[in-house]
Amino acid sequence: MCVCARPSPPPHLAKVCLGGRGAPGQPPPQPGGAAEARRGAGGGGAGLARRAGVARRAMPAARGAARRCALPGPLLPGPPPPLLLMVLLVLPAAGAEGKARSCGEVRQAYSAKGFSLASVPYQEIAGEHLRICPQEYTCCTSEMEDKLSQQSKLEFENLVEETSHFVRTTFVSRHKKFDEFFRELLENAERSLNDMFVRTYGMLYMQNSEVFQDLFTELKRYYTGGNVNLEEMLNDFWARLLERMFQLINPQYHFSEDYLECVSKYTDQLKPFGDVPRKLKVQVTRAFIAARTFVQGLTVGREVANRVSKVSPTPGCIRALMKMLYCPYCRGLPTVKPCNNYCLNVMKGCLANQADLDTEWNLFIDAMLLVAERLEGPFNIESVMDPIDVKISEAIMNMQENSMQVSAKIFQGCGQPKPAPALRSSRSVPENFNTRFRPYNPEERPTTAAGTSLDRLVTDIKEKLKLSKKFWSTLPYTICKDERVTAGPSVEEDCWNGHTKARYLPEIMNDGLTNQINNPEVDVDITRPDTFIRQQIMALRVMTNKLKNAYNGNDVNFQDTSDETSGSGSGSGCTDDICPTEFDFITTEAPPVDSDRREVEASATQPGWSLQTLLVIFISLVLQRQWR
């Protein structure tokens, strides 16, 4: 801006310009100009001129600007020289005050974060020392920038942990509920069986109770992750039960260990317990596989959510977070929040690896929902374990009813046992084992898991699981919707765009690591995926495979141990106690003495037919004698 003075008597021109930072410039030398000015101004003008000279010596930067002010064109008439010089003295101070803005709001906001105000300037200072924020006039020192960078890192970590709180608590709380329910269900089933058998058989049961205790011990061990093959364990239970009952219904004989081992080999061939073992094996196996795998899935989901929610931002991410969250402080705009789209690009860059978890996470959630449906239907462990004592009692009654035929066939296959001592043989069968079980009364069932039911638990967890789908890919959007973080999607102009308060123009990046190659806010190395995140992806993939096997009724830990069960799987969704199509693939596995069993079976076949022939002849003779 130029202000030119032109005294009326002389033809000469005194031209004075203002330039630079509002400082007065030095007028160009002109012959006779100073003398004419003194004559026009008088004595008082001389004093003002001396003061103007002092001001000109104090502002050397204005000299170049004064020289650049010689502009062509007509000259405007100016005020008298004394008044002009007074204006020149006042303008530099006014310009300096306009440039150096106050940092009062920044000091207040900085103190609210818990930081000391010792290093915070009162007015803006030059920003050449800044490493992250724009190097313009600033309210931040280097120390402040470092502290605010660490603050932005902590706030980001807390934001991710807070936002993932729902997912983490879903898996933590539901795992606790399901685990408590299944454990209490097993405890109640064992207690119910023990009470019923004590009332029914008394000492006879108590003397043989370890057979039933071992059954529940193995079921609990399987549920808690033990290396238990359910089918082999159940086969062993029925074989041991046959040995004990065979001794009870034949007290007149003494049986050696070898003889009892031979007896156990007839469990499958003679079916002394009817069809109960086969049905119960199918029901227990698939229900326990589904229950254990589902709880394991809740455990894996809990662990993955807990681990991934604890982020460790990269240096490039920390720089971007500082620029987004606290560079407005350095620019004297502590109340201006980041633009929503700006926040999205920063979060997508910082959470690029977490977004890559999303695909495997969604597959895992889908598999959990499938197994949950099985728990509601044909694989409902509650409907299997509640009446297990009654089912075992039915099997024992079948053995009682067929005890004579079973004993005869075993004697033929295993040989005639030695008679017992006189004291034991004098005791008759009815004295030992003549009690029958009373009918099953559902009203006497114990309450499980504080009165809850599996159906209610499954319905609840299904709703929560559905809400957790696509969680990791939508995490940036969830964070940037937080009013504590951004100005909101509706505010596009009055928000921080990384440089000033204005609209954010760059496009929003897509999700995932590879899509961050052109992220304008965060430097992301797309060639180095996060190893920790890849480990979580693999854990989810393994668990998803287990869940799919459990949905089909297969135990992934044992599905290759037997050719008979390798192709097992329901998939029919039937709601009956037993699905007929499943009996073809879930068969009784052969015990280790398979070759011996075939020999025994071969030797027992022919005597069995001859016994029937003898019985027919004997009955005919008796009838003939009666007719006579």
Q: pLDDT, tens digit, for every residue of 475-528? A: 999 999 999 999 888 888 899 999 999 999 999 999 999 999 999 999 999 999
Single-letter code of the amino acid located at 476 = P
pLDDT tens digits for 562-585? Answer: 333 333 333 333 333 333 323 222
107: its two tokens: 């000091």
Lowest model confidence (mean pLDDT) among 244-258, 309-323, 588-602: 588-602
- State the pLDDT at residue 265: 87
Q: Work out the percent of the chain whose per-residue pLDDT is above 70.
A: 68
- State the pLDDT at residue 557: 65
Angle in degrees, CA 53, 74, 66, rounded to 5: 30
Q: What is the DSSP string of 212-232?
A: HHHHHHHHHHHHTT----HHH
- State the pLDDT at residue 605: 38
User: What is the rounded CA–CA span in Å between residue 325 and residue 317?
Assistant: 12
User: What is the rounded CA–CA span in Å between residue 87 and residue 16?
Assistant: 11
Contacts for 207 with CB less than 8 Å, ≥ 6 apart: none
pLDDT tens digits for 377-411? Answer: 889 999 999 999 999 999 999 999 989 999 999 99
Give the Å distances, CA to CA, from 583 to 228, 426, 570, 580, 588. Answer: 21, 44, 10, 6, 10
- Please state the rounded mean pLDDT for residues 607-617: 44
- State the pLDDT at residue 307: 94
Lateral strand order in the sheet of 2-5: 2-5, 14-19, 23-24
Q: Which residue has the higher pLDDT, 599 or 499?
A: 499
Dihedral (CA of 225, 228, 229, 232) sign:
negative
- State the pLDDT at residue 166: 94
Contacts for 578 with CB less than 8 Å, ≥ 6 apart: 279, 282, 283
532: its two tokens: 């920790």
User: What is the rounded CA–CA span in Å between residue 563 and residue 548?
Assistant: 19
- Are 270 and 406 a contacting pair, CB within 8 Å? yes
User: What is the rounded CA–CA span in Å between residue 241 and residue 211?
Assistant: 7
Q: Which of 57-61, 102-106, 614-618 has the highest mean pLDDT?
A: 102-106
- Are 586 and 281 a contacting pair, CB within 8 Å? yes
Contacts for 3 with CB less than 8 Å, ≥ 6 apart: 16, 17, 18, 78, 84, 87
Judge whether residue 194 has pLDDT over 90: yes
User: What is the rounded CA–CA span in Å between residue 601 and residue 90?
Assistant: 121
Dihedral (CA of 82, 88, 94, 96) sign:
negative
- Are 287 and 381 a contacting pair, CB within 8 Å? yes
